Copies of this chain bind each other. A is one copy, B any other.
Amino acid sequence: MDKKTEIKRNTQQRQLITECVQVLKHPTAEDVWQCVSKKLPNVNKTTIYRNLKRMVDEEELLSFVTGEGITHFDSTLDRHYHLYCKKCGGITDTHAELLDQLTKAVQDSEKFQIEEQNLILTGACPKCQNNDPK
């Protein structure tokens, strides 16, 4: 009764969107649009938005927002969090063990029932620390 068993068509657009999210790793809607456009020059952004939204609703993708307020999509579904490099804009996944510990602790001490964890650590990735020795 929770998940709708909706008919889903396998359109070219949808296939490409899925593909692009996987390849691009942590794209924005704009990124996906540009990527899909390469193979299908007339895709409309609306289609991108509609599909991404639906995929998030149906839990095929997850989305998160960086400190700058930009929404990114992620095809990695296991719980993890993100390292966001301010300099190059790169986003790296990190595993969730420590975050899980933290969440459990909060759950116990605050009696807060946690459903989603959204952690973004922002800073400078190893590459940018070296390349930009300011």
Contacts and interface: CB of A to CB of B under 8 A. Distances in A.
Interface of A: 64-67, 69, 71, 83, 85-86, 92, 94, 98-99, 101-103, 105-106, 110-126, 129
Contact of A83 (B85, B99, B106, B122): B106
A41 B33 CA distance: 43
State the copy count for this chain. Answer: 2
Contacts of A117: 119, 121-122
24 contacts: A65-B67, A65-B69, A67-B118, A69-B71, A83-B110, A86-B115, A92-B110, A98-B101, A102-B102, A103-B121, A111-B126, A111-B129, A112-B125, A112-B126, A113-B123, A115-B124, A116-B121, A116-B123, A117-B119, A117-B121, A117-B122, A118-B119, A118-B121, A119-B119
Nearest to A82: B118
A68 to B, nearest CB: 8
Given A69-B71, A111-B126, A94 B106 contact: yes
A92 B113 CA distance: 13
A126 B125 CA distance: 38
